[in-house]
């Protein structure tokens, strides 16, 4: 049998060369087929996702989010604006105690919320205060000031002749 040379100049027997070229051609056909199949699968998956998105593409009212069952109310501690795809947790300093809320409510003076998704606010203890609304924490009264009532929006100065040496005092001493 004679020998031939491939493109690299390597000597190859014709029978082996024929088997090699047939295998290569078959392999290329398989690759082409796999590419076509992969393309078809990708198109089918994309179409399925588009169909699923289409089914969930309902625009819901404020306080509601789209689900497979239509529009559902956001749970307490969460809210949604019109057209939102999901509910968001209320930020610190706010709360929502009603399902289906379109917004969260700021904690009132003297109260705070230090976590997201709060369903209520916590009253500041004595010796602390929370001025204004939407507080994420209470502040200790400074030395010379006190807050004898829980839920204070400010601290009172100690009366003349008395003092509060430490911060966070709930009374003044003589």
E strand or H helix that includes residue 95: strand 94-95
Of the chain, the percentage scoring pLDDT greater than 90 comes to 63
Count Cβ atoms below 10 Å from residue 4 Cβ, excluding itself: 13
Inside any domain, residue 30 = yes
Please report the pLDDT score of residue 27 as a whole number: 56
Q: Which residue has the tokens 């606010």?
A: 121
Question: What confidence score (pLDDT) does residue 58 get?
Answer: 75
**Is 164 part of any domain?**
no
Specify if 32 maps to a domain.
yes
Could you read off the pLDDT of 7-65 as tens digits, one per residue?
545 554 555 545 555 655 555 555 554 445 444 443 443 344 444 444 445 799 999 99
Burial of 96 (0-12, 13-18, 19+ CB in 10 A): buried
Mean pLDDT of 94-115: 97
Residue 149 located in a structural domain = no
- Would you say residue 40 lies in a domain? yes
Buried b or exposed e, range 110-142, using 16+ CB within 10 angstroms: bbbbeeebbeebbbbbbbbbbeebbbeebbbbe
User: How many domains does the chain contain in total?
Assistant: 1
Domain ranges, residue 33: 16-56
Query: Six-digit token pair at 31?
Result: 């690759």
- pLDDT computed for residue 49 by the predictor: 41
């Amino acid at each position: 049998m004679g020998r031939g040379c491939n493109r690299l100049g390597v000597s190859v027997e014709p029978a082996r060369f024929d088997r090699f070229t047939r295998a290569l051609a078959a392999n290329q056909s398989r690759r082409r087929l796999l590419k076509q199949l992969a393309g078809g699968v990708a198109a089918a998956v994309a179409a399925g996702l588009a169909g699923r998105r289409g089914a969930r593409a309902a625009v819901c009212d404020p306080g509601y989010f789209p689900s497979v069952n239509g529009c559902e109310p956001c749970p307490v501690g969460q809210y949604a604006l019109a057209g939102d795809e999901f509910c968001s947790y209320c930020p610190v300093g706010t709360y929502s105690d009603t399902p289906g809320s379109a917004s969260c409510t700021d904690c009132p003076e003297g109260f705070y919320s230090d976590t997201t998704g709060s369903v209520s606010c916590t009253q500041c203890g004595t010796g602390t205060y929370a001025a204004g609304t939407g507080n994420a924490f209470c502040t200790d009264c400074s030395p010379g000031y006190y807050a004898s009532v829980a839920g204070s929006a400010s601290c009172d100065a100690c009366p003349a002749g008395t003092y509060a040496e430490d911060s966070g005092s709930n009374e003044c001493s003589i």
